[in-house]
Amino acid sequence: MVNTRTHEESDELARQLREAEQAQAEADAAARRATQERTEAEEAQRRDVERRAERRRAWAQGIVDSYDADLTAAEAAIREQSERFADLAGSDLPAALAAYLAWSEASLRHYALQERVAAVAPEVGLMATPGDQLSPPPFSEALDAAIALHVEVAAQRIRDELAAEAEAAPGR
């Protein structure tokens, strides 16, 4: 009976040892799977960071590539709105005010283009200086200058009419 009990205890200990070894093997396999999954997740995360960085570089390069054309268009818009203001100042003050505001907005967009390219230039290995803000003169000064131009144009037109009349006068 002692021998049987010792044999049963020995079998039980052997079974517990096998179960412990099996559990250890399962834990080791789970740890290897977890390590592998972590490595794969870290690699996927690294690739995602690289893809986002590449998309940002491509976006920045697009801004840099279109800068000259965008700046030329912005400068043309400033000129157009400035000329529109000057044309309207002598004949339609409310429309001239709207044109002045459009002129101011065109100037702000011009500045924003320069600031945008300066901000993204490092993304593509370039350096850019801060933009120059081309603001229209204060409204009253712009209005005075536009009215003075209208008056000068009208004065020249009148002088030309008088000269043509004197030229066409009888006896000349």
Once rounded to an integer, what is the mean pLDDT over residues 99-124? 92
Once rounded to an integer, what is the mean pLDDT over residues 3-21? 83
Checking if the pLDDT of 128 tops 70, the result is yes
pLDDT in the model for residue 65: 92
Checking if the pLDDT of 119 tops 70, the result is yes
Checking if the pLDDT of 30 tops 80, the result is yes
Residue 168 forms part of a structural domain: no
Checking if the pLDDT of 34 tops 90, the result is yes
Once rounded to an integer, what is the mean pLDDT over residues 23-34? 91
Residue 99 forms part of a structural domain: yes
Q: Residues 121-129: contacts with CB within 8 Å, 24+ apart?
A: 121/60, 121/64, 123/56, 123/57, 123/60, 123/61, 124/57, 124/60, 124/61, 124/64, 126/64
**Tens-digit pLDDT profile for residues 58-67:** 999 999 999 9
Residue 148 forms part of a structural domain: no
Q: Distances in Å between the alpha carbon of 41 and those of 1, 38, 47, 62, 77?
A: 58, 5, 10, 31, 50
How much is the mean pLDDT over the chain? 89
Checking if the pLDDT of 53 tops 80, the result is yes
Residue 157 forms part of a structural domain: no
Residue 23 forms part of a structural domain: yes
Structural domain boundaries enclosing 123: 2-136
Count up the domains in the chain and report the number: 1
Residue 142 forms part of a structural domain: no
Residue 144 forms part of a structural domain: no
- For the chain, give the percent of residues with pLDDT over 70: 98
Three-state secondary-structure class, residue 86: helix
pLDDT in the model for residue 36: 92
pLDDT in the model for residue 172: 64
CA nearest to 112, candidates 128, 132, 98, 136: 132
Please compute, for residue 24, the number of CA atoms within 13 A of its CA located in the half-sphere on the CB side: 6
CA nearest to 114, candidates 134, 94, 97, 99: 134
pLDDT in the model for residue 1: 60
pLDDT in the model for residue 84: 94
Residue 89 forms part of a structural domain: yes
